[in-house]
Amino acid sequence: MSKPIALGIIGFGIMGERLLRAALEHAAGSVTPVAVWDPAPDAAARLAAISPAVPMLASAAAVIAACDCLYVAAPPAAHIPLAEAAIAAGRAVFLEKPLATDLAIARAFVARAEASGARAAVNFPMASSPAVAQLAAWQAALAPAALEVEVGFATWPRGWQQGAVGWLGKRTEGGFTREVVSHFLFLTRRRLGPLVLQEASVTYPAGDGAETAIHARLTAGGVPVTLRGGVGTTAKDDHNTWTLDGRIRLRDWSFAEQLGADGVWAQAADAQPNERMRPLVLRGQLAGVAAMTAGQPHGLATLREALEVQEIVEAILAA
């Protein structure tokens, strides 16, 4: 077995902490967390409580210098500046989405990264999801004709994201279309083909708040796609379905289900709730990070895939 790669983390909010825990508890053979940086006053104390052995360094530059691969979990406006600094230093980069808050900046970054052969990928966990692998196996028996995607939220941001309401609840960087719908657009792109937006509508509250409802029609590899999303449409933190031909679906992130002859949805034998599935998914993502850093083949989302998703997201939000 090759030596685990040294992983640096910038941004120690929900996602940074989640990936650190996954690295420590489930992916020691793939990655070793070596450093973290976050300017939030409480970040160092939270890190020390989770893993005293992983230091909170004084700057982003210090983390980049200490790692083989940089995981960027800061707010979106910082993604590309941090990624470019890491790439310039010869590091691999694993980015949260979206790539940027400005499409022109995102396009230019992807073009430069591709031209230079940078080792870079984006954290769309469905790339490593066992439930998605099950959908792919079932899909082999279908000739897809239609897809329906629906997402709903009790509130936005979700209850567990209230600490990030300052940007996640705002129109400039946040909103559920960027944060959640993007995952299902990535899944759609992977399973069906290139995305083309046909029409969209979006509802915004007064002021600078993020969207409260969207509706869109797309095609994916020529297959018609209907997309709906809204806040206040469910009592759950979030509820989502990705349903292909009314016969197979992904429900609530982790349940692969197939419609039986009796008209009842049946779960895959290994289905489990997202909180139990997530560690398995992140273990797969981190194995991909190690492979990507070593210059080996991997199944992580590419920068180009992430850019294509972001272009659709931003077109919906501009409707």
Alpha-carbon distance 201 to 208, whole Å? 17
- 124 falls in which pLDDT band (50, 70, 90)? very high
- 260 falls in which pLDDT band (50, 70, 90)? very high
**Structural domains counted in the chain:** 2
pLDDT digit string, tens, across residues 215-243: 999 999 999 999 999 999 999 999 999 99
Provide the domain limits for residue 12.
5-125+279-302
294 and 313, same domain (yes or no): no
115 and 46, same domain (yes or no): yes
Whole-angstrom CA distances from 280 to 130, 163, 210, 256 are 8, 26, 31, 15
Q: State the DSSP H helix or E strand holding residue 47, giving kind and residue range, or none if neither.
A: helix 43-50
User: Is 264 strand, coil or helix?
Assistant: coil
In 3D space, the residue among 125, 115, 123 whose CA is nearest the CA of residue 99 turns out to be 123
114 and 150, same domain (yes or no): no
Alpha-carbon distance 257 to 68, whole Å? 39
Q: What confidence score (pLDDT) does residue 101 get?
A: 83
Read off the tokens for 278. 């997530």
Query: Residue 137 maps to which CATH number?
Result: 3.30.360.10
Read off the tokens for 21. 């825990």
Burial class (CB within 10 angstroms; exposed 0-12, middle 13-18, buried 19+) of 219: middle
Q: Mean pLDDT over all residues of the chain?
A: 96
Alpha-carbon distance 245 to 144, whole Å? 6
Phi-psi region of 197 (alpha: psi -120 to 50; beta: other; left: phi over 0): beta
Q: Is the pLDDT of residue 49 over 90?
A: yes
Alpha-carbon distance 39 to 84, whole Å? 19
Alpha-carbon distance 42 to 253, whole Å? 30
100 and 15, same domain (yes or no): yes
174 and 77, same domain (yes or no): no
Q: What confidence score (pLDDT) does residue 197 get?
A: 98
More confident residue, 161 or 147: 147
- 123 falls in which pLDDT band (50, 70, 90)? very high
52 and 195, same domain (yes or no): no
Alpha-carbon distance 61 to 58, whole Å? 8
- 34 falls in which pLDDT band (50, 70, 90)? very high
Alpha-carbon distance 232 to 259, whole Å? 28
58 and 76, same domain (yes or no): yes
Alpha-carbon distance 267 to 23, whole Å? 29
- 269 falls in which pLDDT band (50, 70, 90)? very high
Q: What confidence score (pLDDT) does residue 120 get?
A: 98
Residue the block writes with tokens 């979206």: 98
Strand order through the sheet with 69-72: 31-37, 5-10, 69-72, 92-95, 120-122
Residue 154's Cα: distance from chain center in Å?
20
201, β-bridge pairs: 215
Query: Residue 102 maps to which CATH number?
Result: 3.40.50.720
Q: What confidence score (pLDDT) does residue 263 get?
A: 96
Mean per-residue pLDDT for 17-43? 96
Alpha-carbon distance 77 to 149, whole Å? 28
Q: What is the pTM of this model?
A: 0.95
In 3D space, the residue among 136, 222, 221, 211 whose CA is nearest the CA of residue 181 turns out to be 211
Residue the block writes with tokens 């850093």: 293
134 and 260, same domain (yes or no): yes
pLDDT digit string, tens, across residues 274-292: 999 999 999 999 999 999 9
Q: Poorest-confidence range of 163-172, 204-213, 230-239?
A: 163-172
138 and 263, same domain (yes or no): yes
Question: Are 290 and 172 a contacting pair, CB within 8 Å?
Answer: no
313 and 173, same domain (yes or no): yes
Residue the block writes with tokens 């008209």: 263
Q: Is the pLDDT of residue 59 over 90?
A: yes
Alpha-carbon distance 274 to 280, whole Å? 10
Q: What confidence score (pLDDT) does residue 18 get?
A: 95
168 and 313, same domain (yes or no): yes
261 and 181, same domain (yes or no): yes
Read off the tokens for 175. 């909103």
More confident residue, 282 or 164: 282
Q: Is the pLDDT of residue 1 over 60?
A: no
Question: Are 11 and 38 a contacting pair, CB within 8 Å?
Answer: yes
